[in-house]
Amino acid sequence: MFELPKINLKGKVSAQEWQTRVELAACYRLFVMHGWDDLIHTHISARIPDSDHLLINAFGLSFDEVTASNLVKIDINGNVIDPNCPFEINPAGFTIHSAVHEARHEDQCALHVHTNETIAIASLEKGLLPLSQYSMFALASMSYHDYEGLAVNHEEKLRLQEDLGTANFMLLRNHGALTMGKTIGDAFMHMYDLVRACQVQLQVMSTGMAPIFVDQSIVDGIKAQANIVHSGLTGGQKAWPAMMRRVSRQYPDFAD
């Protein structure tokens, strides 16, 4: 009754799909390693390059049970592609991902968290403040979406897409955070920056002492620099292989 169905898709799917499965499974394990997972809730979704299919976690699995093979392949509406797939997805939870993937076809990956610090900062009227260097990366590409309740209906989906625009970072008011990236590695790095920025802001605020804010001209000028540091070979794509190696040392079964 507590056993998970065993499936192995290695060699049975395209090389591109398998690569996406391995990297996405690694990202789920990194969530556990960073304490970003939330029992069986929240999601990381990734588009299989050159296709309209997405991969997402099977609903009911803890993130340290997610493997390359048990990720579920779905279309943009959340329909499961493989008729023999023993798992289902969380359709209500998928709505946010469906909205962002639909609006941002060029971005492969969307990460969604409910960490205490991102919920706390998202619940402040002024949101993320320019305090730490981590906040610079996030503020260069930040958006907010107001809380409208548990279920996301069609109208909210449109508002969410409009709120996101071209931003890579989103604070979901009273709810958590979302980051997007051209690759899984980029989206992961974005979330790392955002979580750290939220943690630092709360620590600064908790002292009750007057903080030094980064000047707005520096915030405005940071966008080009953020792009250089955090994507391509100098940033996310350099750190990502190291993160993948760390996952394989800690969780050798992630690529099953």
Positions in the binding site for Zn ion (CB under 5 A): 43, 93, 112
> Which one, 92 or 158, has the nearer CB to Zn ion?
92
* Shortest reach from residue 207's CB to Zn ion, in Å: 30
Q: Cα–chain-centroid distance for residue 45?
A: 7
Q: Which of 48, 53, 45 is nearest to 18 (CA)?
A: 48
Minimum distance, C-beta of residue 113 to Zn ion, in the bound complex (Å): 8
Question: Exposed, middle or buried by CB within 10 Å (0-12, 13-18, 19+), for 217?
Answer: exposed
**Minimum separation from the CB atom of position 155 to Zn ion (A):** 18
Question: Looking at beta carbons only, is 93 or 130 nearer to Zn ion?
Answer: 93
Instruction: Choose between 43 and 73: whose C-beta lies nearer to Zn ion.
Output: 43
Residues, the chain, total? Answer: 256
Q: How far is the CB of 90 from Zn ion (least distance, A)?
A: 8
- Which residue do the tokens 């029992």 mark? 39
What is the nearest approach in angstroms of Zn ion to the Cβ of residue 110? 8
Let me know: does 135 contact 127? Beta carbons within 8 Å: no
Which CB sits closer to Zn ion, 11 or 149? Answer: 149
CA distances from 72 to 53, 75, 79 (A): 10, 10, 10
Residue with the shortest CB distance to Zn ion: 112
Nearest distance in Å: CB 38, Zn ion: 8
Closest to Zn ion by CB, 172 vs 226, is: 172
State which residue, 38 or 65, has the beta carbon closest to Zn ion. Answer: 38
CA–CA separation, 255 vs 71, rounded Å? Answer: 11
Look up residue 47 and give its amino acid: R
Residue with tokens 């499965």: 21
Minimal CA–CA distance to 171: which of 138, 219, 137, 215? Answer: 138
Question: Shortest Cβ distance from residue 46 to Zn ion (Å)?
Answer: 12
Nearer to Zn ion, 29 or 43 (CB): 43
Residue 148: other Cβ atoms inside 10 A: 15
Q: Is the dihedral of CA 219, 223, 225, 226 positive or negative?
A: positive
Please give the backbone phi and psi of residue 51, each rounded to the nearest 5 degrees, phi first.
Answer: -145, 170
Q: Rounded distance, CA 136 to CA 225, Å?
A: 10
